[in-house]
């Protein structure tokens, strides 16, 4: 059942529409209901509609909801995808327009970084490499080619990045590859420069729906503008109060830009919240009301007030973590909650360690979001590169990673020469490496290394048809010397041992699979690598990761000036975005919200006495219950234990200990 504002947004079909959807206001329902309305109106066929969002999870949920509304099979031709997936679809169709061959590769972040490292002068630190990668991505999102990026550079670091950008782009072209930023930047370049292609894609997608519009960067906005054209038949759904990704290029000013580009833009506000207790909303409204607004909103809820928001002062970060873990345990036992009902949110990943220790101590099952996925570990990706190459000899990105891991007297310059020659003959790199005619153009030592690698590839490819995947991988690891490579490139013996354990776990996982062919296994690997479902566990996550989620009980920890708001935001004048981040955290809570800070925090081996976050003072006093505010800062171990004992004893009694 839609409320009047939701219904208005669904039924409006007369032109461009911006839906300002507050937290918990049912925006996904509006989008999926509108898809159904567009089709049932008879004005649009299913294949003429594209719904665009930012995550694969959100796209899956949107597609599933649309399928339930439209009925079995009726949504099959509907396009529901991320911006990057849509860009990939575009490039697969228009690859020749940007000088790519069919079957081009997409470089992951670590492969892109490795490529930049190969191009960089010796001795450049990892921090500088990461900054260059970030600046190159930003230039692409702004539609700047290497020459334009160099002209626009204002600092020495930006000039360095622009210079590397030119070589990086050349290397990508030679390898018939793109990075994730290219999946948006290249389609934008084609759509802007080719009126015929632009008209074709405007006919293809006659109506667009864009979720989380406030998170679009410049390139994504231009992509939307080019696809929508002057007709402007689209619905953009967003919330300026939840714009928290400026650090990765998101531009909340796109909300304003939309009104300038489309003067007939209609605006509908969704202000009824279906998630939070009314008290939480009043507090959140008061906080976010401190920010300037182009389109002010006042969220409200028909739900009861609920419990007061607790603001808890603890003596240290370890004490804070123990308090959270004990509270979760207590609520599970007394209120019959499940672990999945709880979320612990924090500003930075460094805050997770104390929380993990406390959760383990009290045996609270938890899931740490944002931790490195098993399939994203370097050693697993190294093995996967070989498997991908054996399954698909035209996977140039896999070839580049495999031939360089471990090193085989084949440098970046050699690979670029090989790629240039291969490109001239329209050959994938793996096939070019096995061509005697092409190898004669290279230095003898490099040519011999490439020839030997090609022979090995052929041997492993034949082996893959006669043995099960686990046996193949074990043989690959022995033949390539990967174990020694991982050992040599580990920071210490402990890391080397962990890597070996990860590979062993991977082999055991492979051995349990039913898939007998390499292609079947790789398909399953790709599916499972995307699966990071937390199950019935408490969630530990950054505030940025929590956006779009909701939980019965939320703990927001580390609320101190310097952490939230972050010290860099205070120096750089980005307080408004930090306040939006706090607002996002507050509005994840359905029933209870607990805010905590430390009176003493240990950072970099030193004790600090931080000030409570200034955002806490923006919450109306009537909505808050302060706990421990006036207690002594420094307590002895005995005092801490004595204060905690009644609570812990109660928990033990409930557990029957």
- Burial class of residue 417, CB neighbours in 10 A (0-12, 13-18, 19+): middle
- Residue pair 107/172 in contact by the 8 Å Cβ criterion: yes
Does residue 565 have a cis bond before it (omega within 30 degrees)?
yes
- Residue pair 537/365 in contact by the 8 Å Cβ criterion: yes
Task: Tell me the C-alpha distance between 188 and 224, whole Å.
Answer: 9
Q: What is the DSSP letter of 14?
A: S
Q: Are strands 234-238 and 266-270 parallel, antiparallel or unpaired?
A: unpaired
Instruction: Give the residue from 112, 129, 182 showing the smallest Cα distance to 400.
Output: 112
- Residue pair 496/378 in contact by the 8 Å Cβ criterion: no
Q: Which residue has the tokens 């174990």?
A: 483
- Residue pair 450/457 in contact by the 8 Å Cβ criterion: no
Q: Which residue has the tokens 């800070």?
A: 597
The 3-state secondary structure of 516-583 reads CCHHHHHHHHHHHHCCCCCCCCEEEEEHHHHCCCCEEEEEECCCECECCCEHHHHHHCCHHHHHHHHH
Q: Which residues are catalytic?
A: 27-28, 211-212, 242, 588
Q: Where are the beta strands (DSSP E) in 101-162?
A: 105-107
Task: Tell me the C-alpha distance between 322 and 327, whole Å.
Answer: 8
Q: What is the DSSP letter of 27?
A: H
The DSSP secondary structure of 149-181, one letter per residue, reads: HHHH--SHHHHHHHHHHHHHHHHHHHTTEEETT
- C-alpha distances (whole Å) from 449 to each of 76, 433, 457 are 48, 10, 12
Structure tokens belonging to residue 393: 């000899």
Helix, strand, coil share of the chain (percent; to 5): 55, 15, 30
User: Please, where are the H alpha helices in 205-312?
Assistant: 218-228, 254-261, 278-288
Give the CA-trace dihedral at 469, 471, 476, 477, to 10 degrees. 120
Task: Tell me the C-alpha distance between 546 and 284, whole Å.
Answer: 16
């Amino acid at each position: 059942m839609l409320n009047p504002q939701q219904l208005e947004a669904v039924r409006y079909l007369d032109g461009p529409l911006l839906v300002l959807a507050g937290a918990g206001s049912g925006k996904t329902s509006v989008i999926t209901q509108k898809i159904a309305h567009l089709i049932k109106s008879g004005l649009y066929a299913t294949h003429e509609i594209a719904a665009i969002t930012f995550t694969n999870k959100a796209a899956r949920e949107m597609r599933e909801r649309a399928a339930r509304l439209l009925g079995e099979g009726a949504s099959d031709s509907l396009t529901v995808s991320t911006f990057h997936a849509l860009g990939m679809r575009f490039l697969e169709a228009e690859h020749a327009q940007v000088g790519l061959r069919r079957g081009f590769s997409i470089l992951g972040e670590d492969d892109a970084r490795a490529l930049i490292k190969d191009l960089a002068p010796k001795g450049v630190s990892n921090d500088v490499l990461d900054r260059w990668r970030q600046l190159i991505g930003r230039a692409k999102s702004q539609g700047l080619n290497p020459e334009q990026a160099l002209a626009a550079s204002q600092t020495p670091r930006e000039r360095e990045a622009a210079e590397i950008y030119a070589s990086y782009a050349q290397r990508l072209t030679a390898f018939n590859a793109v990075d994730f930023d290219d999946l948006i930047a290249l389609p934008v370049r084609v759509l802007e420069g080719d009126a015929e292609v632009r008209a074709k894609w405007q006919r293809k997608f006659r109506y667009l729906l864009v979720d989380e519009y406030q998170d679009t960067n410049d390139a994504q906005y231009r992509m939307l503008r080019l696809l929508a054209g002057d007709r402007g038949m689209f619905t953009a759904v967003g919330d300026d109060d939840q714009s928290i990704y400026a650090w990765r290029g998101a531009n909340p000013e796109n909300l304003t830009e939309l009104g300038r580009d489309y003067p007939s833009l209609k605006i509908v506000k969704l202000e009824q919240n279906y998630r939070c207790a009314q008290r939480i909303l009043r507090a959140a409204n008061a906080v976010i009301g401190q920010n300037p607004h182009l389109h002010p909103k006042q969220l409200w809820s028909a739900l009861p007030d609920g419990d007061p928001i607790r603001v808890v002062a603890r003596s240290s970060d370890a004490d804070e973590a123990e308090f959270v873990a004990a509270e979760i345990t207590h609520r599970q036992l007394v209120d019959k909650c499940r672990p999945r009902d709880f979320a612990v949110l924090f500003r930075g990943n460094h805050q997770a360690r104390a929380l993990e220790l406390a959760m383990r101590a009290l045996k609270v099952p938890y899931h740490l979001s944002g931790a490195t996925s098993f399939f994203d570990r370097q050693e697993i990706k190294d093995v996967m590169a070989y498997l991908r190459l054996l399954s698909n000899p035209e996977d140039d990105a896999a070839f580049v990673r495999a031939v360089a891991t471990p090193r085989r007297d084949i440098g970046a310059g050699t690979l670029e020469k090989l790629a240039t020659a291969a490109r001239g003959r329209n050959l994938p790199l793996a096939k070019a490496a096995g061509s005697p005619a092409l190898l004669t153009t290279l230095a003898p030592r490099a040519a011999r290394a490439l020839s030997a690698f090609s022979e090995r590839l052929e041997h492993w490819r034949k082996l893959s048809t006669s043995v099960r995947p686990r046996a193949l991988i074990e043989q690959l690891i022995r033949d390539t010397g990967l174990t020694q490579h991982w050992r040599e490139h580990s920071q210490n013996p402990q890391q080397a041992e962990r890597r070996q354990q990860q590979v062993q776990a991977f082999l055991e996982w492979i051995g349990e699979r039913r898939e007998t062919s390499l292609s079947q296994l790789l398909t399953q690997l790709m599916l499972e690598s995307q699966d990071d479902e937390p199950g019935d566990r408490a969630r530990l996550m950054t505030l940025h990761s929590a956006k779009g989620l909701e939980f019965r009980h939320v703990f927001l920890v580390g609320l101190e000036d310097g952490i939230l708001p972050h010290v860099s935001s205070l120096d750089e004048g980005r307080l408004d975005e930090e306040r939006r981040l706090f607002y996002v955290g507050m509005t994840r809570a359905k029933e209870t919200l607990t805010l905590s800070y430390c009176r003493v925090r240990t950072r970099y081996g030193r004790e600090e006495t931080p000030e409570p976050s200034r955002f806490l003072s923006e919450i109306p006093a009537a909505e808050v219950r302060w706990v421990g505010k006036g207690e002594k800062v420094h307590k002895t171990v005995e005092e801490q234990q004595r204060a905690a004992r009644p609570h812990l004893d109660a928990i033990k009694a409930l557990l029957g200990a």
